[in-house]
Amino acid sequence: MTRGADSPATEAAASLLDALVVLGVRHVVVSPGSRSQALALAAQELERQGRIALHVRIDERDAGFTALGIGREARVPAVVICTSGTAVANLLPAALEAHHAGVPMLLLTADRPPELRGVGANQTTDQTRILLPAARFFAEARTPEGGADEAEEARDLAVRAFVAAAAGSVQGVAQLNLPYREPLAGPLPGWFADGGRGADDLAERARGLVEEASDPVILEQGPRTIVVAGADAGPDAEVLAHQGGWPLVAEIVSGSRYGRRVVRGYREALRHDALGGAVERVVVLGHPTLSRETTALLSRTDVEVIAARGAGEDLDLSGRTRAADQIAVAPGEPDRAWLGAWMEWSAAHAADLETAAPDLAGLQSADPRERLGAVRAELAAVRRKLDREQLVAGVWRATWPHDRLLFGSSRLVRVADEVLGGKKVPVHANRGLAGIDGTIATGVGIALASQREGEPGVTRVLLGDLALLHDAGGLLLPPGELRPRIQVVVGNDGGGTIFDGLEVAQTASPQAMDRVQYTPHEVDVASLAAAYGWEHVRATTRAELDQALTTAITGPQIVEVPLDR
């Protein structure tokens, strides 16, 4: 086979991607473009060989969020390939979320060579600074010219970028800016088409770059302590609470809301003098964002706060918070009275969201009037119009450990946080910056990563109508690619009613609220689903919702639930 030296860009692209696959990359997301064609064609060859799963997206913004979802689920970075110019800028929203949430991501941004910069060349801007707020690692490759040492340079860049994105205790975003000259594509090198260069010493190089973890902070018994689990805290928070014998305040997006230490009704408890008012020490894992009560507690200067180090900036609302790479519990007798008070509160504040059991005696009664009354009561329960509490409860009830659940940054996540109980299910949420950007694409990425090897389960995305419309482009799935089992469950109240709970609702006129806050719309969600080839189901009652969520699905589906404004 003709070697790729006919195009130095092709040789460099093949060397870089081959090394990233050897290091562990299994997903590549491509947004097609001219300057990036060498990278895209090399990625297609890797797909042909079965070494990666390839996902093609028209919109770089959705490409970034698809990679974000893959990284969230797999904890291994997906690679995003894009062309130069505004394409790179469109990666910024997903890169910022990945940075603040600690999600691994590798961005390969093709660029013009140095001689075409700053001279008005087409599709050319300063790409070295566009992603600067988000990238924990940035490097610009040398423009390939066919030199003998370029393949080794590309492999070295791959190692450095992969380690920066994925190998630390905190993960994040790495960007490689790749300036290519024409010819931008040529025949792939023979070694690449034959299956790559092999492992070589890449793993050893990567191990040499991984920083050693610092000694853990050891927590002694004594101070009245609670564990706060924010977004992405995961099972570690539940383990820590169990080991310490401490109450666990776990946001619904934490992945920690399960076990015997979970506190129901935690917001009100944090306002209670004998509970929240008596806290002396808080241990924080993840990124808490859903309640003002938690924010107020973490801002108190009379409370000792130890926070597990996360992505982005360290948590320090009080100005006195101590960051820790690792946290451990010292042996000792826990304060059982302190834990007991919180557990007693929790038992008394469990929300009852279940429909009352049928009146079996009435249904079987020989008295026609009594039997008719029981039938009417049962029909009323089945036909009851859904509200937000019943919607979040229905989705929670239908989701199990083999499923995935992604909460959008909508009003529904706050309702879920207030009313749902404990359950050990895999939960995701883009709460790094808590934006509504790319929620559908993130969910698709989670589904692609969790179902790649034929694993069972459904990925559900629970979001509001504005989050759906903000990422309508995320519904576009190319023909020939895996169509994952995903349900986008949208609570449609015709606008952004989350603003009802903010200060603006107390001061703005109804006309002003409608015009610049609610963002009312008249979108036909069924037609939107049809345009993108998604199945559409409309559920208005508990029975219809349960049927939609428990009926087997084979591909993408939108479940629309109309809600009162």
Residues 50-71: tens digit of each pLDDT = 999 999 999 999 999 999 999 9
- Which tokens hold the place of 369? 């009037």
Q: Identify whether the C-beta of residue 160 lies closer than 8 Å to the C-beta of residue 122.
A: no
Query: Average pLDDT in the 246-260 region?
Result: 97
Reported as a single tens digit per residue, the pLDDT across 151-201 is: 999 999 999 999 999 987 789 999 999 999 999 989 999 999 998 887 778
Tell me how long the chain is: 565
In a domain, 445, yes or no: yes
- Asked whether residue 16 is assigned to any structural domain, the reply reads yes
**228 and 203 inside one domain:** no
Tell me which residue range forms the domain holding 58: 4-209
Region 7-14: what's the mean pLDDT? 96
The reply to whether 381 falls in a domain is: no
Residue 98 has pLDDT above 90, yes or no: yes
Across 73-82, 221-230, 377-386, 555-564, least confident range: 377-386
Q: Is the pLDDT of residue 4 over 70?
A: no
At residue 355, does pLDDT exceed 60? no
Domain for residue 356, yes or no?
no
Backbone angles phi, psi at 47, to 5 degrees: -65, -45
- Percent of the residues in the chain that have a pLDDT greater than 70, as a whole number: 96
Whether the pLDDT of residue 439 is over 80: the answer is yes
Q: Tell me what the pLDDT averaged over the chain comes to.
A: 92
With 70 as the cut, is the pLDDT of residue 353 above it? no
pLDDT score of 378: 66
Extract the tokens encoding 312.
């982005």
Answer whether residue 108 shows pLDDT above 60. Answer: yes
Residues 197 and 307 in one domain: no
Least-confidence region, from 44-48, 393-397, 515-519, 552-556: 515-519
Q: Are 144 and 11 in contact (CB under 8 A)?
A: yes
- Indicate whether 358 pLDDT > 80: no
Cα separation of 85 and 71, whole Å?
25
Q: Are strands 53-56 and 105-111 parallel, antiparallel or unpaired?
A: unpaired
Residue 38 half-sphere exposure, CB side, CA atoms within 13 Å?
Answer: 33
The mean per-residue pLDDT over the stretch 22-44 comes to 97
Other C-beta atoms lying within 10 Å of the C-beta of residue 339:
21
pLDDT digits (tens, 9 = 90+) for 254-282: 999 999 999 999 999 999 999 999 999 99
Same domain, residue pair 169 and 241: no
**What's the pLDDT score for residue 364?**
75
Mean per-residue pLDDT, 344-352:
89
| pLDDT attached to residue 380 | 66
**Average pLDDT, integer, range 358-384:** 72
Q: What is the CATH number of the domain that holds 67?
A: 3.40.50.970
Residues 332, 473: one domain? no
Asked if 55 contacts 81 with a C-beta cutoff of 8 angstroms, the reply is no
299-308, 366-375, 445-454: least confident range: 366-375
Contacts of 17 (CB under 8 A, 6+ apart): 28, 39, 42, 43, 46, 79
Helix, strand, or coil (residue 54)? strand
187 and 245 co-located in one domain: no
Asked if residue 260 and residue 114 are part of one domain, the reply reads no
- Classify residue 110: in a domain, yes or no: yes
> What confidence score (pLDDT) does residue 382 get?
65
Which pLDDT band, with edges at 50, 70 and 90, does 507 fall under?
confident
Question: Do 34 and 119 share a domain, yes or no?
Answer: yes
| Bridge partners, residue 561, by sequence | 491
Give dist(CA 188, CA 7) in Å, integer: 9
pTM for the structure as a whole: 0.93
The pLDDT, as a whole number, for residue 2 is 38
Do 111 and 221 lie in a common domain?
no
Model confidence at 486, in pLDDT bands (50, 70, 90)? Answer: very high
Examine the domain organization and report whether 158 and 25 are in the same domain: yes
Q: What is the predicted pLDDT for the residue at 1?
A: 35
Q: What pLDDT, on the 0 to 100 scale, is given for residue 144?
A: 95
Residues 203 and 229 in one domain: no
CA distance 374 to 367: 11
- As to burial, measured by CB atoms within 10 angstroms (0-12 exposed, 13-18 middle, 19+ buried), residue 129 is exposed
DSSP 406-455: EE-SSHHHHHHHHH-------EEE--SS---TTHHHHHHHHHHHHSTT--
Asked if residues 295 and 284 have their Cβ atoms less than 8 Å apart, the reply is no
**Domain count for the chain:** 3
pLDDT at 150 over 90: yes
Specify the residue for token string 């340079």.
153
Average pLDDT over residues 390-402: 96
Residues 144 and 184 in one domain: yes
| Phi-psi region at 459: left, alpha or beta (left = phi > 0; alpha = psi -120 to 50) | beta
Residue 24 included in any domain: yes
Establish if 373 belongs to a structural domain: no
Residue 524 lies in a domain: yes
| Window from 58-67, 85-94, 189-198, 222-231 with minimum mean pLDDT | 189-198
Q: What percent of the chain has pLDDT over 90?
A: 77
142 in the same domain as 105: yes
* β-pair type (248-250, 281-285): unpaired
